[in-house]
Chains A and B, each alone.
Chain A
Amino acid sequence: MDAAYVSLRAERRRRNLLGWIVVAAVFATSAIVAELDPAKLWAGLPRITEYVEKTLPVLRLGHLPEDLAEWFWDLGHWLYLLAETLVMAYLATMLGTVAALLGCFLAARGLAPHATTAWLIRRGFEFARVVPELVFALLFIYAFGLGPMAGVMAVALHSFGAQGKLFAEAAEIALPGPVDGVRSAGGNWAEAMRFGVLPQILPNLASFTLWRFEINVRNSAIIGFVGAGGIGEAVFTAVRLLHYEDVSALLILLVVTVSLIDQLCGRLRNRMIGVEAAR
């Protein structure tokens, strides 16, 4: 038995070692292709710390209000862009979710009236989800012109794909009883979906939608990098034109806003789950 144990252990060690060698080889190749030269990295490190240092504003205890005012000198404009970002996220979530809600019943296996359209809609969800928003944004800027409309359409299209997949999966696992009930009472397919499936999956859908809104706030904040509206435009300009203190001010505004939104949505979600559990 001892011999069996020893040989088994040696076998596992060999397999583990082989695995680690493969991982190390893949990593080494990647590091070379990605130009991850240790010397270059070492040379770059001081420049990174230097960059961070430059973004830190001069704050003197005696002149704190003046210094803060200078740091956040363009606050009015930034708050406007921040508001634009939030409204973009809201509108994109709204449009994407409504479209996904209409599509998910047609795409859900076992519920969809036509197998072919269901397959097509699922591929549509996949395409909208997998192509990055920024690529859609580049296309839409060409089609709809610069500004928030292109950004909203890009984020909405991505949301449509992501939400549609989740919604259809939720609809697929809904209990069939209520659907049969509506059907046997003479309801048509649309009524069966509205009164048989929707009430079952609505809490899940609401939770997904809040989560999507949180993600969309982040995405709307960067979509301005290519000129599709929102605060990304200001961040892009500040970094490009080396307005160091603006970079830190904008990032602080962004991080604070994003974490506030996350907490708000988290609370709403917990309340909804609480309501659901109390039923």
Chain B
Amino acid sequence: MSTTADVGAWRARMPGAFGPTGLRLVWRWALVLAVLSATGGAFVWFEMTPARFFAGLSELGRVALLMLPPQPGEQPMELVWALLETLAMAVAGTAIAALLAVPLGFLAARNVMSLAPFRFGLRRFLDVLRGVDQLVWALIFVRAVGLGPLAGVLSIIVTDTGTLAKLYSEALENADRRQVDGVRASGGSHVQIARFGLLPQALPLMLSNALYIFESNVRSSTILGIVGAGGIGFQLSDRIRALRWDEASFIILMILTAVALIDAGSAALRRRLMQA
């Protein structure tokens, strides 16, 4: 057993083993101080006082009680239809994006498109599609094509064509060269190289990526309705704004159940794809 005196002796002999010393200690405390003051400053900026926090919390508690029991409201079929519309938006948007992204993904892959400036330009274009949030696209499409699910589908298509083309091109770049060389050596054309040399290798990963994006779209399409782009989000924000909390909680439960079911189904499908 070592005593306190032993520990003191060791600390004197090897201070570095017990934690940072000297200048590093100063740096560490400076960092802690900077983080604390930045956090404190943010609280002051946003006027996030304890009084406001607790007042809001008690208000939330009151709302939570009003949410029980969840009620479907007068038109339950309307909610079911809105949920189906949400799912349909995710399916249609993801499917079209998954197809549009195939040629773009090939053109953005280093081992397919050898022209570097073209690849660079295409990749930056895809970055812009991805870089602007889906909800911003939805807001813009609502203005351009009117309220309704079409705006939502278009916003899903635009963002996820960008995301999937990038993921596809990475999947293609990671493909084994030897199969490509094999097709080329037996006289295959460029299209045949892509079709028989690259695609079979990358396809499972590409499909898995598309399914993953589909899951994410099921979640995000539930909120597209908040800006008027179709689906259940419109009903939800409408009920919250009208302070009909029991109906709002019913819709939230519907969304959570649907998302959980879709996730489970899609995960099972993805596992099978990756095994095949």
Contact = CB atoms under 8 A, between A and B. Distances in A.
A139 B60 contact: yes
Contacts of B152: 34
B135 interface: yes
B45 A87 contact: yes
- Which of B92, B128, B256 has its CB near the most chain A CB atoms (within 10 A)? B92
Contacts, number: 163
Contact of A144 (B56, B84, B256): B56
Contact of B252 (A27, A47, A135, A239): A135
Contact of A132 (B43, B85, B132, B222): B222
Given A90-B42, A91-B42, A139 B240 contact: yes
B68 to A, nearest CB: 15
Contacts of A88: 42, 46
Contacts of B222: 132
A235 B136 contact: yes
B226 interface: yes
A135 B85 contact: no
B136 A251 contact: yes
A225 B150 contact: no
Given A27-B92, A36-B92, A44-B150, A144 B52 contact: yes
Contacts of B47: 147, 149
B143 A142 contact: no
Interface string A208-232: 0000000000100110011001000
Interface in B219-270: 219-220, 222-223, 226-227, 230, 233, 236-237, 240-241, 243, 252, 255-256, 259-260
B139 A236 contact: yes
B95 A30 contact: yes
Interface residues of A, number: 60
A229 B240 contact: no
A27 B219 contact: no
B133 interface: yes
By DSSP majority rule, is chain A's interface helix, strand, loop, or mixed? helix
B25 interface: no
B55 to A, nearest CB: 8
Interface stretch (A56-64, A175-183, A253-261): A253-261
Contacts of B237: 138, 226
Interface in B46-61: 46-48, 52-53, 56-57, 59-60
A240 B228 CA distance: 12
A48 interface: yes
- Which of B38, B133, B140 has its CB near the most chain A CB atoms (within 10 A)? B133
Interface in A63-105: 84, 87-88, 90-91, 94
B131 A259 contact: yes
Nearest to B35: A94
A31 B59 contact: no
B141 A34 contact: no
Contacts of A94: 35, 39
Nearest to A83: B45
A254 B149 CA distance: 26
B236 A33 contact: no
Contacts of B91: 26-27, 30, 34
B88 A33 contact: yes
Nearest to B260: A130
B256 A255 contact: no
Nearest to A262: B131
B135 A222 contact: yes
A31 B43 CA distance: 47
Interface of A: 23, 26-27, 29-37, 40-41, 44, 47-48, 50-51, 84, 87-88, 90-91, 94, 127, 130-132, 134-135, 138-140, 142-145, 147-149, 152-153, 218, 221-222, 225-226, 229, 235-236, 239-240, 242, 247, 251, 254-255, 258-259
Given A48-B141, A236-B139, 17 more contacts: A30-B87, A33-B85, A47-B145, A48-B144, A84-B45, A91-B46, A130-B259, A135-B236, A139-B60, A143-B56, A143-B60, A147-B46, A148-B45, A239-B139, A239-B143, A254-B131, A259-B131
9 residue pairs, one from A and one from B, having the closest CB atoms: A33-B88, A30-B91, A30-B88, A144-B56, A44-B145, A143-B56, A143-B59, A34-B88, A30-B92
